[in-house]
Structure 1
């Protein structure tokens, strides 16, 4: 893997990566989707494709902490509805990584994130203005939405570890409150990210060098998770939703402009 070893990083570069790891912990326990900023930092200081392999174990560490914190609030029917479509998205993302270069990956994910944020805002405003659909129509629309977001979430999480904002948009559009949102996304990403490990290793994105760097950075995930757990109780629902959407937009713009 074309990556930078721990010993080749300057103090400033390591500090930036450590801050990104702290932000991963914060995003997993407070504002999901904010870790797209971490993705951009890792891609800035490491080769873009290789950075996804370094970031994946750090994300899994954050997922474990989030599950321990919010495990009682997960909504498993939603998870089971998403997983088949996510599997399709991961498979497509793996094939995409075989031929796509860094520029194509960044542009594709950035466009998807901005599109999802726009669709979510539009749907929420329309739902506030329109009458509620009948039960059969709502059920059919819910299945279509779960499949669409599931495929996009699997694709984006495989190619750039950027599935968080896509799933955030889905959970917000489904009407999840803070704790249900965080508990459901915690289990979702723990399961999905662990399942990605053999794919990433097979593509050469994870090796001994990347794991050594992970070992040095993962300790910074813990204070970030604790900070997020403290902050989430002080954020009301409306502000929480706005922060999630804003983090998605910022992440998408960073990927497009990088």
Structure 2
């Protein structure tokens, strides 16, 4: 797996940089990392590789936003998220690589479509236990299969009218806990291998650099421009995975 072409290493490096940036500055941009990894590596392998890179980024997200979490929201989501994680783990254990690859693409396209629809709708609604169950289950499944639970949780936090700082702090704790929970599942089905660990060791410094850049630039970057760029890149990457 490490015998990759220079252009593949360059893209993986870019994906690692974006992974760090997405954790501290641009929520949702880490989807680009998912697309890049799944385009270059076997789909199931890419899931494990990206997970470990995201955990590195989680450290910096917690360092920056850890004090603003709403633990009642996390506890409300927990049962549904666990169900989604279990379903996603079974799917990864049974599905062939090609199916996982296309599932990642479909999930990404669906999340983009729903996110854009929510923005176009431009209003939020109060959400109760049913919404928490739906969003939580979908977030657990998508994050297990494709490390793409971010858009789902963003929609939930928007629907519950969560303040910005609480949004960032709760997201940081949510993904730190969920990502650590996923490690034994992926290890148990044989996806965390020495090759994956070595690849992540080589890419981790770029995640750190991206996270540090994000911390410094979070309040200066034109969010609308980056949102559009990430959306375009993610759509293009997801369509590529479907081919």
TM-score, structure 2 normalization: 0.87
CA-to-partner distance for each residue in 1:208-235, whole Å, 9 max, x for gaps?
1111111111011111112212222125
2:134 partner SS: helix
- Counterpart mapping for 1:208-223 below 5 A: 208-223=194-209
Structure 2: 5+ residue runs without aligned partners?
none
Q: Cα offset for 1:123? A: 5.2
In the other structure, the counterpart of 1:192 is 178
Structure 2: how far apart are the matches of 1:233 and 1:29? 11
Structure 2: how far apart are the matches of 1:114 and 1:219? 29
In the other structure, the counterpart of 1:51 is 46
CA-to-partner distance for each residue in 1:157-205, whole Å, 9 max, x for gaps?
1112111222222222322343322211111111000011111011111
Structure 1: how far apart are the matches of 2:75 and 2:158? 17
Provide runs of 4+ in structure 1 moved above 6 Å: none
1:34 partner SS: coil
Structure 1: 5+ residue runs without aligned partners?
none
Select 2:95's aligned residue among 91, 96, 100.
Answer: 100
In the other structure, the counterpart of 1:178 is 164
Structure 2: how far apart are the matches of 1:48 and 1:116? 18
In 2 relative to 1, CA 61–178 (structure 1 residues): closer, same or farther, beyond 3 Å?
same
Select 1:228's aligned residue among 201, 214, 225.
Answer: 214
In 2 relative to 1, CA 121–101 (structure 1 residues): closer, same or farther, beyond 3 Å?
same
Aligned residues: 241
CA contact (8 A) 2:37 2:50 kept: yes
Select 1:28's aligned residue among 19, 23, 31.
Answer: 23
RMSD over aligned Cα atoms: 2.5
CA contact (8 A) 2:53 2:207 kept: yes
In the other structure, the counterpart of 1:255 is 238
Structure whose CA Rg is larger: 1
Structure 2: how far apart are the matches of 1:100 and 1:256? 20
CA-to-partner distance for each residue in 1:2-35, whole Å, 9 max, x for gaps?
xx03xx1333322221111110000001112211
Select 2:136's aligned residue among 150, 153, 163.
Answer: 150
In 2 relative to 1, CA 127–42 (structure 1 residues): closer, same or farther, beyond 3 Å?
closer
Q: Cα offset for 1:60? A: 0.3
